[in-house]
Structure 1
Amino acid sequence: MSLSAGCKGGGSSGGLLERLPNSIINEILVKVDLESLCSMACVSRTLHSSVSQTLFYISSIDLSAFSPDVQTLYFIISKFKYLNSVTVDCRHLNDSSVIDILGSHIQELNLLKCSPPSYQVLTSLGCKCPNLRLLVLELAGGDEMFQRRPLKFLKGCLCLEYLSVKIRGTEHDAKAFCSMEHFLPGTVKVLKLQPMLERDAIHLIRGLRDDTNFLETSTSFSIPLCPRSPSCALQHLTLALDVISDELIILIVNSLPLLVELDIEDRPSKEPSAPRDLTNRGLQSLCFCQHLTDLSVVRSRQNSPVSFKRINDMGMFLLSENCRGLQSVTLGGFSTVSDAGFSAILHSCQNLKKFEVRNASLLSDLAFHDISRAVCSLLEFRLLACNLITSEAVEKLASSKILEVLDLCGCRSVADGCLSYISCLNTLSTLNLKGADITDSGLAIIGRGNSPIACLCLSGCKRVTDKGIALLLDGGGMVSKTLSYLDLGYMPGISDRAILTISAEAQAVTELCIRYCFSVTDVSLKTLALEERYKGGSKLLRKLDLCNCLGLSAEAVGLLKKPSFRGLRWLGVGLTRLASKRDAFAEISRERRWLTVCFDGCEVGCHDGWQYHESDYSQS
């Protein structure tokens, strides 16, 4: 955007911009995102012409930040002639508009937030996109199309290397991938399916394996035989299942000799029985995956408080001893693994860049006692809902001087004592302290520090008040300059004063969450609206979550109209008085076709709730 600042009056023949060679201007513009390009086109005639030329030759477009209607999509797509990669939010598109995107030039296609497409759309994918290499489908559930007519269209995608199909719905939708083994192209290297039944996953993997390279036992488990020929191209496998079993893991090990990444999660509705559960044996079998670098094994507590009760420290010892090449490890729901088991992973995997543990009730500070000698390559560290973790462990973790992500979500015993160590991390970009026992004094330490934090979550930190936010942003440190995402949800001590401080001092915040902050009133919304009128395009709020802010009046909807909040792309007003003004929001959305208004109380962006929305007024 610096070009526009230096080119006032660029429309005149003597403007500075006109004297720059077109090759230099075009070289700059190809590195700019689409939204900024559209803004720059309004600065001068020269930039308008250059932007038009740039759009003509752009090969990739991402429209996931908003949900275009048919007319808007057609207008945008018509400006591009050489597209080979398209990402689009499909909530307000019909089948014909999706089909119009398709063609032999498309190599990468991401169709997000779709209602179940018709069979005609899927058939068109195979027929009209013979050169398709990447396909991502994110669908709302509740339709039996995949069960009646399986993914036969995949047979026409002879070049497909990356396939991700995510169905968001009920457990019934897990049957959608039945018999998929008959249609999956042999060229696929990356496969992501959600949700899926374990039995269907077993059929799928059996369909991919090389029958000459393993021996079946009487229990239907496979004994790996080495060496094995790489008969299957699959290298990355991601599955969300009803249950993870030894049989499935061992079958994966036998059938996919080139496997580099395994991401597998289950969501059992009750505690699995012994024959259908994951044990030390299944975990140990992963040692035969000679190329494995990324491993994620998670038992989700989404449906009930279940865990991998048949895996203990011995399973972790065997895994760590035989999989020393792991660079990314995510482990969730291992309730019977202690400090010794988790520590073994950290000390054995010397190239570890990411380590994440979720819901580990026995994990304590002792696991990180001498971590400074064990791991020096860590970039991302996440400990989620590990209740025995305290500030002492975080002090040890901060010894990794190249740490970029530190996520302590739900670690309620983490307090101010460790924040001085965190504030010295010169590479830290993401910090999640959700539910931690920090205070205003702790935020003052971060506010004076050198950490270039862009994403900060303080949700549920009940001892933090307006004063703490002021100390965070007025401390003279890096955070006031770098912060772009701030989550202050579920904090009773946050009021209009904190929002005033954010508006005045946070130079780059574009996403703000203040859900369930009951002391926030119309004054906050007015403050944000007035401040935005004086900000540049890159500093405008893009997402604002006001869910259950009971202090807001219904009349505050007027503050959301033009010219205020001109950069807003997503707005959450669920459980507020604002939500009663549906007609007003319909008018706002007609003026701003890029704006999505959520009345359903979703988290920022509606990533996991859009499929349940009865309606919204974006694009209406």
Structure 2
Amino acid sequence: MKGADLINVALPEELLEDVLRRVGGEKLDLDACALVCRRWRRLDRATRRSAKLPASGVHADEVVGLFVERFPALADVSIDERLSADAAVVSAPASRSRRHVISSIPSGSRSRMSRVPRFAGILFPLPSEQTPSADGIESFCLTDVGLTSLARGCKGLEKLSLVWCSAISSTGLVRVAENCKKLASLDIQACYIGDPGLVAIGEGCNLLNNLSLRFVEGATDEGLIGLIKSCGQSLLSLGIANCAWITDASLRAVGSHCPNLEILSLESELVKNEGVISIAKGCHFLKNLKLQCIGAGDEALEAIGSCCSLLEILSLNNFERFTDRSLSSIAKGCKNLTDLVLNDCLLLTDRSLEFVARSCKKIARLKINGCQNMETAALEHIGRWCPGLLELSLIYCPRVRDTAFLELGKGCTLLQSLYLVDCSRIGDDAMCHIAQGCKYLKEISIRRGYEVGDKALISIAENCKLLKELTLQFCERVSDTGLAAIAEGCSLQKLNLCGCQLITDNGLAAIARGCGDLVFLDISVLPMTGDMGLAEIGQGCPQIKDIALSHCPGVTDVGLGHLVRGCLQLQSCQLVYCKRVTSTGVATVVSSCSRLKKLLVEEAKVSERTRRRAGPILSFLCSGL
């Protein structure tokens, strides 16, 4: 019955708590639940599991302390200095609940309450006077004091991420180790954490299974070895990137004390063959390996191939010293390989992929980027021997020709995603081979495909009926003819036509008539399109959420008006360098799109009234650089 509170009457707190837990980690949904009534707010505070907190701004320590006091059940916390408590105050809308709270405060206190941070629908009143630090300078960053409050208030913490927290030291991490015995995942990025903090985590957090250290300048081999010796048995995932003082000595400890390690990501200029070989010999359960170690060579990968037979995912980046000999060893020993990424491995040739294709029949995802010695034969081998290939990405492969795709089309019939970037010799014939053989394609992305034109699109439209995402960025031979075929044959959800300069309003009209389910559209840098095309899109594609219109000289305020009247779901719009769009058009977009979250535009085209109305969603180009 209307007005009856049936849920609160019928459900005991245990069931209501379970309902709130099942809402999941969506912050907006949880915030909405917290605003239903006082009971729901209290239960939400008692059960909320995750939070992302700012680490910069006035009184950052107090904000974290108050947040932890409100939400003692937090288990997953991310603290990021790139987020500011002050910015959150400015951008937070004045909701009804906040106006009600402030209106109940005596007028003499309202001035200081205007600076109150607001997170998760909760107001956090701070001291009326700014609290100076010990040296008389106001603290604008989270310190060990705030991290200590978090550790003592959330003893059930399981996952902690510290990003760019410049004022945190080992002392704060020691407090985490003393209080958070359930900690299972620790991600530290760009923080000056020293060895004592890492050693304390190892001694206090025996359940730690995931550790990521990125740009942690204070850490050396001593700290990491101390951590690994204490909790290496539980460690399943380890990431080390650009830690200037961590060498092969740490990797030897990993090989000796982490027998259950499954995931390793390593980026370092100091690591040599010895460290990687130690990992290979000691971590036989390794399944996911990402390496960017300029100092390592063939011997390192030969050890991986010999010892890590369970390896499924391998990513090799910027290697200057290893050759086909390395990948031959991987192919012989790692028969379960499903994902292979080769970035800027300049000495690899077609022979490498022949080894992989013949031995690793489970390959499902392959990415080749900047391996300039690989030619057409490399992909022919993949087509002949890897029938389970689902995703193929080729980036800057100037020697690969159309004929390679004949074998791919014949052999890789299950292919679902194809990415081609800066492959100058791949044209219509290649795409026709792929389209005719790979009828399960869902995503095709071609960037700077100067030899790809309408013939390719017509073949795709005739054969790839499941296609949902199509990118044709700077494919200058594509015209309205090919686009009309796509619109007739494929029900697209995402379309990127940026830089396809032959496209006119007629092409956009065809898309509007045939692809009514579009949610993303990029029609930037289309000099021959204008208001008529936008009017057709507005009428035919009401589900669009993201649109890019930059560098379109034919677009005016009139076209924008037609667009936004139909696209009521619009959330993001890029509108820069459209010389005939004025402040009136920008105001029309802002006033018509109630769901808009981001509008990129030149600052000069935003009126003061629009700025006051939509300040938080406006983004401006850095034109002064």
Determine if the TM-score, normalized by the shorter chain, exceeds 0.5: yes
- Structure 2 counterpart of 1:235: 312
What secondary structure sits across from 2:614 in the alignment? coil
Counterpart-to-counterpart distance in 2, 1:490 and 1:73: 44
- Structure 2 counterpart of 1:436: 500
- Structure 2 counterpart of 1:355: 418
Structure 1 residue 411: Cα displacement: 1.6
- Structure 1 counterpart of 2:117: none
Match for 1:527 among 588, 606, 609?
A: 588
Mapping of residues 147-166 of structure 1, within 5 Å:
152=225, 155=228, 156=231, 158-163=233-238
Match for 1:552 among 587, 595, 605?
A: 605
Q: Which amino acid in structure 2 is aligned with residue 312 of structure 1?
A: E
CA contact (8 A) 1:165 1:193 kept: yes
Mapping of residues 86-101 of structure 1, within 5 Å:
86-87=77-78, 89-92=80-83, 94=142, 96=144, 97=146
Counterpart-to-counterpart distance in 1, 2:64 and 2:351: 52
Counterpart-to-counterpart distance in 1, 2:203 and 2:533: 58
Mapping of residues 18-417 of structure 1, within 5 Å:
21=11, 23=15, 27=19, 30-31=22-23, 33-42=26-35, 44-45=36-37, 49-50=39-40, 52-54=42-44, 56-61=46-51, 72-76=63-67, 78-87=69-78, 89-92=80-83, 94=142, 96=144, 97=146, 105-109=156-160, 111=162, 116-120=190-194, 126=202, 129-134=205-210, 145=218, 152=225, 155=228, 156=231, 158-163=233-238, 181-182=251-252, 184=254, 185-193=258-266, 200=271, 205-210=276-281, 231=308, 234-241=311-318, 243=320, 245-246=322-323, 249-250=327-328, 252-253=330-331, 258-266=336-344, 277-287=347-357, 288-299=359-370, 308-398=371-461, 399-417=463-481
What secondary structure sits across from 2:444 in the alignment? strand
Structure 1 residue 79: Cα displacement: 4.5
1:381-425 CA-to-partner distances (Å, cap 9, x unmatched) read 222222101122122223322223222222222222222343356
Structure 1 residue 34: Cα displacement: 0.6
CA contact (8 A) 2:273 2:300 kept: no
- Structure 1 counterpart of 2:598: 543
Structure 1 residue 434: Cα displacement: 1.5
- Structure 1 counterpart of 2:567: 506
Q: Which moved more, 1:505-514 or 1:236-245?
A: 236-245
- CA distance 1:70–1:435, change in 2 (3 Å): farther
CA contact (8 A) 1:500 1:524 kept: yes
Counterpart-to-counterpart distance in 2, 1:180 and 1:486: 48
- Structure 1 counterpart of 2:550: 489
Counterpart-to-counterpart distance in 1, 2:390 and 2:417: 7
- CA distance 1:521–1:362, change in 2 (3 Å): same
Name which structure has the greater RCO, CA cutoff 8 Å, separation 6+.
Answer: 1
Counterpart-to-counterpart distance in 2, 1:574 and 1:445: 32
Structure 1 residue 473: Cα displacement: 1.1
- CA distance 1:545–1:157, change in 2 (3 Å): farther
1:207-233 CA-to-partner distances (Å, cap 9, x unmatched) read 3334999xxxxx95799899x886466
Output the TM-score relative to the length of structure 2.
0.69
CA contact (8 A) 2:337 2:362 kept: yes
- Work out which of the two has the higher radius of gyration on C-alpha atoms and give 1 or 2: 2
CA contact (8 A) 1:181 1:205 kept: yes
Q: Which amino acid in structure 1 is aligned with residue 477 of structure 2?
A: S
Structure 1 residue 72: Cα displacement: 5.0
- CA distance 1:325–1:453, change in 2 (3 Å): same
- Determine which structure has the larger helix proportion and give its number: 2
What secondary structure sits across from 2:369 in the alignment? strand
Counterpart-to-counterpart distance in 1, 2:278 and 2:386: 26
- Structure 1 counterpart of 2:119: none
Q: Which moved more, 1:465-474 or 1:202-211?
A: 202-211
- CA distance 1:492–1:77, change in 2 (3 Å): farther
Q: Which amino acid in structure 2 is aligned with residue 380 of structure 1?
A: E
Paired-residue identity, %: 20
Q: Which moved more, 1:280-289 or 1:21-30?
A: 21-30
Structure 1 residue 352: Cα displacement: 1.9
Structure 1 residue 135: Cα displacement: 5.1
CA contact (8 A) 1:125 1:153 kept: no
- CA distance 1:119–1:144, change in 2 (3 Å): closer
Q: Which amino acid in structure 2 is aligned with residue 264 of structure 1?
A: L
Structure 1 residue 40: Cα displacement: 5.0
What secondary structure sits across from 2:340 in the alignment? strand
Computed over aligned residues only, the root mean square deviation of the Cα atoms, in angstroms, reads: 4.3
What secondary structure sits across from 2:82 in the alignment? coil
CA contact (8 A) 1:237 1:261 kept: yes
Structure 1 residue 514: Cα displacement: 1.6
Are residues 1:572 and 2:622 paired?
no
Unmatched runs of 5 consecutive residues or more in structure 2: 84-140, 167-189, 285-296
Q: Which moved more, 1:156-165 or 1:389-398?
A: 156-165
CA contact (8 A) 1:150 1:176 kept: no
Q: Which moved more, 1:342-351 or 1:430-439?
A: 342-351
CA contact (8 A) 2:221 2:250 kept: no
Counterpart-to-counterpart distance in 2, 1:404 and 1:151: 46
Structure 1 residue 366: Cα displacement: 0.5
Structure 1 residue 336: Cα displacement: 0.9
1:282-334 CA-to-partner distances (Å, cap 9, x unmatched) read 222323335432221212xxxxxxxx442222222223323333222212121
Q: Which amino acid in structure 1 is aligned with residue 31 of structure 2?
A: C
Q: Which amino acid in structure 2 is aligned with residue 131 of structure 1?
A: L
Counterpart-to-counterpart distance in 1, 2:31 and 2:474: 41
Q: Which moved more, 1:339-348 or 1:326-335?
A: 339-348
- Structure 2 counterpart of 1:591: none
Q: Which amino acid in structure 1 is aligned with residue 363 of structure 2?
A: L
1:17-61 CA-to-partner distances (Å, cap 9, x unmatched) read 66775758964883362124324544x42xx53354245334445
- Structure 1 counterpart of 2:536: 471
CA contact (8 A) 2:280 2:307 kept: no
Structure 1 residue 361: Cα displacement: 0.8
Output the TM-score relative to the length of structure 1.
0.69
CA contact (8 A) 1:192 1:238 kept: no
* Aligned length, in residue pairs: 514
Unmatched runs of 5 consecutive residues or more in structure 1: 1-6, 168-172, 214-218, 300-307, 580-599, 601-620
- CA distance 1:391–1:74, change in 2 (3 Å): farther
Q: Which moved more, 1:242-251 or 1:510-519?
A: 242-251
- CA distance 1:283–1:371, change in 2 (3 Å): closer
CA contact (8 A) 2:539 2:566 kept: yes
